[in-house]
Amino acid sequence: MENEEIRNRILEQSDRLFRKHGINFVTMDMIAKHLGMSKKTLYVHFKNKKDILVYSTRKRTQDRRKKHENILQSASNVIEGLVTVMRETSREISQINPVMFEELDRYYPEVSKIIKKDRMKHYDQLLEVLDHGQKEGLILPDINNDILSKLFIGQINFLKDRDLFPISDYNREELFNHIYINFIRGISTSDGQKIIENMIDKM
C-alpha cells in the first residue's frame, strides 16, 4: 500500500473515531488498534493525535465541499440540489458526537479555524447557487444574496451554542434540519416551495 493510501486510510478512520467518541476520548493506541496497525506506523505519517485531527478535518471539509458541488451540479434544479445537500449534511451530523463541537472550540482553536474557513467557501458557493436559483425562478428575485448567505452561515453556528440549545434537549440533526429547511422555504418562490414540499413528502 502506497504512503498516500495509508495516510488517507488513517485520516478517514481516525475522523470516524473522533466523530463517534469525541476527540479527547480517542487515543493513538485506539486509532492504531482500530486500523490494525502499530503506533510506530502512525508516527511515521503523523506527529501526534492533534496532527491527525488537523489533516483529517481538512480532508473531510474538502471531500464534503466536492460532494456538495457534484450534487448541486447534477441536480435538475437549485431547490432539488439544496434539499439533497441538506439530507447529506443531516446524515453526517447524525454521526457526530455533540461533545466534539465543544472540544473543538475549547481545546483545538486551530481546527475550528479550518472549519470556519470552509464555511466561508460554503458562503461563496451559496452565493452562486442563489444567483442561479433566481435565474431559474425558484429563488425570490428581491433578496440580498450576500446578506442571506451570511445569515445562513450565522444560523449554522447555533449548532455549537450549548446555552441556547442544550445538547440534552436539542438533537443536533433535528436542529440543523429546522435551520436549513426554513431558510430554503423563506427564500423560495411559490414554484420553489412546491418542489421543497414534494421532496420532503418523499423523504
pLDDT band at residue 120 under the 50/70/90 scheme: confident
Q: Say which residues have a Cβ less than 8 Å from residue 104's Cβ, sequence separation at least 6.
A: 23, 111, 112, 115
Instruction: Write the pLDDT tens digit of every residue in 20-29.
Output: 999 999 999 9
Rounded distance, CA 164 to CA 87, Å? 24
Q: Where are the domains of the chain?
A: 48-202
Instruction: Write the pLDDT tens digit of every residue in 53-97.
Output: 999 999 999 999 999 999 999 999 999 999 999 999 999 999 999
CATH class of the domain whose range is 48-202: mainly alpha
pLDDT band at residue 122 under the 50/70/90 scheme: confident
pTM (global) more than 0.75: yes
